[in-house]
Chain A
Amino acid sequence: MSRWIGIGLHRGVLTTRYPSRPDPADGTAPSAVALEISELSGVQAVEAAGLCPTSALRTDGDASEGSITFDAGQCVMCGACVRAFPNAFRSVHRPEVAVRSRERLSVRATWTPGSGPALEEAAVAATLARRSLRLFRHSLHIRHVDAGSCNGCESELQMLSAPQYDLHRLGLFFTPTPRHADALLVTGVVTRQMEQPLRDTYDAMPEPKLVVAAGVCAIGGGPFAGSLMVHGPLDRILPVDVYVPGCPPTPLALLHGLLLAVGRAEERYHPAGGSDGA
């Protein structure tokens, strides 16, 4: 046994200082995609939507008059649009991509003959931090439910316990029982057969409680939207407080999402670039 202690000590501290300091792994894997609408023409928008394997990019109309919707909550980051139109679609490398409302993940732009696409100002009401959030500022117990994932999200959740992330240092804990849980973290599309166990878990949690939708499958169904066996997305079934996009969300993006849920982090991501989206 003493040899294991030696091995542990010898490796030293590997743990990130995130969020008080940026993590060295920041930027190795993109956390989302952002759209720079001024770099996209109507023709390109129609072409880009044809490349998208999910419904993250949808267009109406044609190259001369129409609209494009970019929904980061459906983007699996396959990179097809980023490779085809690198000026218009950029990978967002910062991990702070979680948001508090579903609307904040999508933007719509319209164009008419003679003028290029312009963003529609979405009337998104400022999401007020819920008072209950403050209750969990110091410690949050999380009940995870896999509602039909591919195991990618679970793998990243398990990595949160790896020495590099060590979620316990932030007062975050996974709990086996919903009775002790403050937050329900859901991954995967909600399949027909997981809907009831998911509802049961939510109902067994005491109030107040938070719900975090992690990964595009939970947010919008991702690549599985439209399957007969799928009941998702999650916010059709449970009230969702925080959305963490990604396929899967990186461990740092998950940490940011959890900290956002308890009011210890700010929203930084906007699907149409913006100063905070870089």
Chain B
Amino acid sequence: MTTLRELAQTFGIEVSTRAPGELWSEIPEEQFTGWVAAIAAAAVLADLFATTGEGEPSLTAVFELRGDPEWLAVRCRLSGDSFASITRSVHAASWYEREIREMHGLEPVGHPLPARLRLHDWPEGQPPMRAPVDERLGAGPGIPERVPMVRGRGVFQIPLGPVRSGPQESGEFLFDSGGEDLVAVSPLLGYKFRAIERLAEGRTVDQGLVLAERLAGVSAFANGLAFVQAAERAMGVSIDDGACTARTLMNELERLHNHFGDIGRLADATGLLVAGAQYAALKEEVLRRCAELTSHRYLRGALAVGGLTAPLPQAELRMLGRDVPRWRRRSRRLQAVLEDTGTFTDRLETTAFLRPRHAAQHNLVGPIGRSTGADRDCRRDHPYAAYDRVTFEVPVRSEGDALARLGIRLTEVQQSLAIVEQLLDSWPPATTGGGGAPGEAPGSALGWSEGAGGETLHWVEVTPEGRVARWRARPAALVNWHVYADACASGNNLTDYPVIEASFALSHAEFDR
């Protein structure tokens, strides 16, 4: 099977193109589960989400297929408040279905473990994403009972968090240990749940963008870009060349500062403080250049519907052109010494190991996915902005351990620098975009970007007045947290935990939302 369109045809599903590159199909409720499971066997389930609001609730499954630039979205209207779970045949759907149950109050019938993912102190029967929520809330069930995952002689439980030791994000982890070995780890997430998607409903698209950029700080641009592209496609707004190039450049700068930061924190976690400091210094240099280009260190406020809020200043772009060779030289030197420091690489080898066959069931994204053989990168698979004009390689490894994740990030740093250089070499005249003629407005559309953590997929429905009707954000961390506990329990020690956490570099804010 080479394309999603052909795949849909074999199942007899009629598809229509809404925004360019998006195939949509409405199918009857009773056939939804069967077809989604069948398509998921041949393609990659990229997202499964619900909408509840006026009218009936609905379910939407989004698919992609390696080698096909299109997306396939299959939607059904539900007549009641339940649907047949597909988790038993498609493991990647498990957390999506739990989320749908928790946030929208739709019951996945047959789900093996339909427990909550985020809400601790929240009453039953008040799904926070489903209007209207009764504001006079009663007491909730409280923090979930801490059931030990492992029982046995000498096995005890160590709680970590939600307030962590350093300036880190809040999240709780329960370690089951026999003394030194990490038998099982259960993450208790959701402490930071802010209900961002609900908050955006009814706001203007510009105000929605401000929220999307604040979904997560270190992936502010990736989430902002996915949101704004979805909104533009929904409203039929086209973007000119100059704005596309600038967006691509900023996307790469954000990937770069994240990778520098993540590699540095991994070095810190192993006690290699000089390397940690050197990479932190590189990250700071990228952040300062971002600030000079856009007046914001994390590139917030640079995006606007239809293009950019301001063209990137020429003088600062020339400075960036001089930075790139320096950053390349220094990062290559650091990389060579890192890879040659045995005490460092020994800590990473086989640590937090993911078996590729197991990982494949989770449809992982980003460096974590690519370290387990998942050859997925939406800059190449679904080119957006100006990615069709640059050449780059997508590194893929199959070891699935912390060392492989580091290797992917190290290679991607060099690729990002090469992309920045290519963009600067063919920089189009400065524009802020917005000149594109309005095309057909399908009202809702997908938007995507490849952040440092991986594929970021948003879906936005815009009202004719230009307000956000519904918004679904599926950031990279939402997918990758699913596999975290399994990686922790792959024969590691308690002292490996900082290394595990740093090598995954998962955002709590992105997951909690």
Residues from chain A with a CB closer than 8 A to the CB of B340 are 3
Whether B508 sits at the interface, judged by CB under 8 Å, is: yes
Interface pair A250/B301, CB less than 8 Å apart: no
Known A-B contacts A83-B310, A152-B217; A176 and B206 likewise in contact (beta carbons under 8 Å): no
User: Complex: how many Å from CA A228 to CA B133?
Assistant: 9
Residues from chain A with a CB closer than 8 A to the CB of B218 are 151-152, 155
Interface pair B292/A224, CB less than 8 Å apart: no
Stretch at the interface among A109-117, A119-127, A140-148, A264-272: A140-148
Interface pair A149/B274, CB less than 8 Å apart: no
Proximity bits, B371-399, A CB within 8 Å = 1, else 0: 00000000000000000000000000000
Contact of B192 among A146, A158, A222, A228 (CB under 8 A): A146
Contact of B211 among A192, A201, A223, A250 (CB under 8 A): A223
- Interface size, A (range): 35 or more
Whether B305 sits at the interface, judged by CB under 8 Å, is: no
Residues from chain B with a CB closer than 8 A to the CB of A147 are 170
Residues from chain B with a CB closer than 8 A to the CB of A250 are 297
| Cβ of A50 to closest chain B Cβ, rounded Å | 10
Residues from chain A with a CB closer than 8 A to the CB of B261 are 155, 158
Interface pair A163/B291, CB less than 8 Å apart: no
| Cβ of A218 to closest chain B Cβ, rounded Å | 13
Whether A43 sits at the interface, judged by CB under 8 Å, is: no
Chain A CB within 10 Å — which of B218, B281, B287, B292 has the most?
B287
Known A-B contacts A151-B508, A158-B167; A78 and B192 likewise in contact (beta carbons under 8 Å): no
Interface pair A151/B277, CB less than 8 Å apart: no
Closest to A9 in B: B274
Contact of B295 among A29, A200, A226 (CB under 8 A): A29
Residues from chain A with a CB closer than 8 A to the CB of B92 are none
User: Complex: how many Å from CA A29 to CA B301?
Assistant: 12
Known A-B contacts A28-B292, A163-B277, A229-B195; A194 and B334 likewise in contact (beta carbons under 8 Å): no
Proximity bits, B113-154, A CB within 8 Å = 1, else 0: 000000111100000100001010000000000000000000
Closest to A248 in B: B217
Interface pair B284/A164, CB less than 8 Å apart: yes
Whether A189 sits at the interface, judged by CB under 8 Å, is: yes
Main secondary structure of the interface of B (DSSP, over half): loop
| Cβ of A116 to closest chain B Cβ, rounded Å | 28
Interface residues of B in 253-302 (CB under 8 A from A): 261, 265, 272, 274-275, 277-278, 280-281, 283-284, 287-288, 291-292, 295-298, 300-301
| Cβ of B432 to closest chain A Cβ, rounded Å | 10
Interface size on B, residues (CB 8 A): 69
Interface pair A8/B309, CB less than 8 Å apart: no
Known A-B contacts A155-B298, A176-B165, A223-B210; A191 and B194 likewise in contact (beta carbons under 8 Å): yes
Interface pair B216/A146, CB less than 8 Å apart: no
Residues from chain A with a CB closer than 8 A to the CB of B215 are 150
Residues from chain B with a CB closer than 8 A to the CB of A149 are 169, 192, 217, 509
Interface pair A154/B217, CB less than 8 Å apart: yes
Residues from chain B with a CB closer than 8 A to the CB of A150 are 214-217, 220, 509
Residues from chain A with a CB closer than 8 A to the CB of B296 are 29, 77
| Cβ of B350 to closest chain A Cβ, rounded Å | 23
Proximity bits, B152-170, A CB within 8 Å = 1, else 0: 0000000000111111111
Known A-B contacts A161-B280, A224-B199, A250-B297; A148 and B309 likewise in contact (beta carbons under 8 Å): no
Interface residues of B in 179-229 (CB under 8 A from A): 190-196, 198-199, 203, 206-207, 210-211, 214-218, 220
Residues from chain A with a CB closer than 8 A to the CB of B135 are 228
| Cβ of B485 to closest chain A Cβ, rounded Å | 20
Known A-B contacts A146-B168, A157-B167, A250-B297; A28 and B192 likewise in contact (beta carbons under 8 Å): no
Interface pair B298/A248, CB less than 8 Å apart: yes
Residues from chain B with a CB closer than 8 A to the CB of A37 are none
Chain A CB within 10 Å — which of B167, B216, B277, B309 has the most?
B167
Proximity bits, A160-199, B CB within 8 Å = 1, else 0: 1111110000000010100000000100110111100110
Binding site for A on B (CB under 8 A): 119-122, 128, 133, 135, 162-170, 190-196, 198-199, 203, 206-207, 210-211, 214-218, 220, 261, 265, 272, 274-275, 277-278, 280-281, 283-284, 287-288, 291-292, 295-298, 300-301, 309-310, 333-334, 337, 340-341, 343, 507-510
Q: Which 7 A-B pairs have the closest CB atoms?
A: A152-B217, A157-B167, A176-B165, A29-B291, A162-B280, A53-B210, A28-B291
15 examples of A-B residue contacts, CB within 8 angstroms: A53-B203, A54-B210, A76-B214, A146-B164, A148-B191, A148-B194, A150-B509, A152-B220, A155-B298, A158-B280, A164-B284, A192-B193, A193-B119, A193-B191, A229-B195
